[in-house]
Amino acid sequence: MIEIESITKLGELTGREVAVSGWLEVSQERINRFAEATDDRQWLHVDEERAARESPFKGTIAHGFLTLSLLSEMLHQAMHVGGVRMGLNYGLNRVRFISPVPAGSRLRGRFTLGQVEEIKGGVQVTWNVTIEREGADKPACAAEWLVRYYE
């Protein structure tokens, strides 16, 4: 885990890859729980037999939004910013689901600091994130993620 002393120090890291998370497994159980939580039970995600027969991926794949939702945990694993009272997910400017995430895959996030803007009581950071799938040629997802850090 990368330790960043303060939100003031974040500005010095603009344009650089700051951290890489550990690997997270996307098991079929995790996919099923996500399907239940979101009421998105499309067969491509939850019906292992049908997906093996009919899917071009030869098995179930994770929801794109499941992949995206793992960003918070990846960031938490990858870095800590000192002096922060609260971090707030402020949204996304851009998201692309580049390649599928088959059940059983392992993912990790790579965080590059795109921009730091001052806001009342803190800063708004734009993280350029790439979610890699272990052993894949292409990333699973790329996103421009806005996070607000309050002192």
Where do the domains of the chain lie? 2-150
Confidence of residue 53 (pLDDT cuts 50, 70, 90): very high
**Predicted structure pTM score:** 0.94
Percentage of the chain lying above the pLDDT 70 cut: 100
Note the pLDDT tens digit of each residue in 100-147: 999 999 999 999 999 999 999 999 999 999 999 999 999 999 999 999
Given a contact cutoff of 8 angstroms between Cβ atoms, the answer to whether 116 and 14 are in contact is yes
CA distance 53 to 70: 28
Q: pLDDT class for 78, splitting at 50, 70, 90?
A: very high
- Bridge-partner residues for 87, per DSSP? 149
Q: Which two tokens stand for residue 26?
A: 């996307």
Structural contact between residues 143 and 69, judged by C-beta atoms closer than 8 angstroms? no
pLDDT at 31: 98
Decide which of 3.10.129.10, 3.40.50.360, 3.20.20.70, 3.40.50.300 is the CATH code for 2-150.
Answer: 3.10.129.10
pLDDT of residue 54: 97
| pLDDT at site 5 | 95
